[in-house]
Amino acid sequence: MTLITADTHYLVVGLGATGLSCVRYLVAQGKLCSVIDSRQAPPGLDTLRAEFPQIEVTLGGFDAQVMSQVDVLVMSPGVPLSTPAVQAALAKGVRLSSDIELFCQAHQGRTVLITGSNAKSTVTSWLADIARRSGTSYVVGGNLGQPALTLLEEPVELAILELSSFQLELVGPLRADVATVLNVSEDHQDRYPSFAAYQQTKQRIYFGCRHAVFNRDDALTSPLLPTGVIQTSFGLGKPDLNQFGVQEYEGEAWLTCGHERWMRAGEVALPGRHNRSNALAVMALAQAIGLDREAILSSLRAFKGLPHRCEPVGSIRGVLYVNDSKGTNVGATLAAVEGLGGDHPRRLMLLLGGQGKGADFSSLSEPVARFCKSSWVFGQDQAQIAAALDTGERSSGVHCVDTLEQALSGAEAEAIAGDIVLLSPACASFDQFKDFQHRGDVFRSWVEARL
């Protein structure tokens, strides 16, 4: 970890909400800091100048000379480490840090760190709901909600942080009490030189942790750690002793820890096979950090999930519309299709498309053919996606349109009672929308206008 010393000069790289939180924290610690941003008018600039008129700000580009003359770069996760000015500074011996690393140095309570290609926001929020029900004082942040350093304002017993791969690039051993990689699937291949590099970045969350929780159903989540670290697994199959999984008793599926039955799988509030896996992850994390078992069970039965994550929006003439706009990569869409399709085979009508981020969509072909009645592909990379889905025998089930609204209209005309129209794009949204929330809101508004 990067240690804060009296004479260290910090350069906050990238402003915005996270950068501003870093400046406030460092100034409160009495540290010398300055700011650099590639934009001429980054978010938070007026606030920074009003609060800290003495702080030097460099705008309009990343100047290698400026970045090489400080001791520590406090990086925004939006700035790739491959940026030439960053590499030049590293070659001069400048160290890296981030708001996550600074937070973990300062936080005095227990820490749970959560990452994964998909479901990390759901699992993070679900664990926070259990902490609330157990009476534990906690904060939630990182890649979800508030910037991490703003969470230090009040001492709490537990910090629950969701971390992206971009954030994990910037940290040394974080020494979490509990850390997990929920799953790993292809994502951000426009940022990483290979899938292996992306997977290795996710593994950084385990460095220095006391207790690692991993997914038995995804070998890429298995921690590459020395002996002596406590390890707990979860998975949809029968578990070993003290591990979490699913077992059949008298024809009924139960969520279990080893052979101990915790609750019937059908009692979990969130539907779908993928959410059964998420529930097991939450159980393992909550037990590892010492949260109350009754609070765990209560939350599993009551937690309704987050907006834009397999969110039921409404039914029109017996057709259910589900908003999974947060499905911004292939793995997320696979989870949604398999999770919902397992209960409703060949009743799904999948809406997907946007900016593919260099992903390979071929792994969608077989599950879509098995579970989906039709697919409606829209947006920038529609041709590439449609080609991956069109296996020949089901070419009539793949439709290309320009916009989400056209996809919705096409699906509506084809759907009959009992079908499910699922928006799970497998892509980023920035070709046609502000962000995934905006895309989901457009979907919701279209449905609600017809209810």
Q: What residues are labeled active site?
A: 120, 143, 188
> How far is residue 371's CA from residue 45's CA, in Å, rounded to a whole number?
49
CB 289 within 8 A of CB 178: yes
> 């990067």: which residue's tokens?
2
Question: Counting beta carbons within 10 angstroms of the beta carbon of residue 31, is it exposed (0 to 12), middle (13 to 18) or buried (19 or more)?
Answer: middle
> How far is residue 109's CA from residue 158's CA, in Å, rounded to a whole number?
6
Nearest alpha carbon to residue 185 among 219, 138, 144: 219
> How far is residue 71's CA from residue 52's CA, in Å, rounded to a whole number?
21
Strand partners, 349: 374, 421
CA 404 vs. chain centroid, Å, equals: 23
According to DSSP, the β-strands at 9-13 and 32-37 are parallel
Query: Could you give the angle at the alpha carbon of 276 between the alpha carbons of 275 and 280, nearest 5°?
Result: 110
Q: Which amino acid is at 197?
A: A
According to DSSP, the β-strands at 138-142 and 178-181 are unpaired
> 């009539």: which residue's tokens?
396
Strand partners, 312: 322
> How far is residue 119's CA from residue 405's CA, in Å, rounded to a whole number?
26
Q: How far is CA 361 from CA 187, 395, 436, in A?
A: 11, 16, 19
CB 44 within 8 A of CB 16: yes
Rounded to whole angstroms, the maximal C-alpha distance in the chain is 71
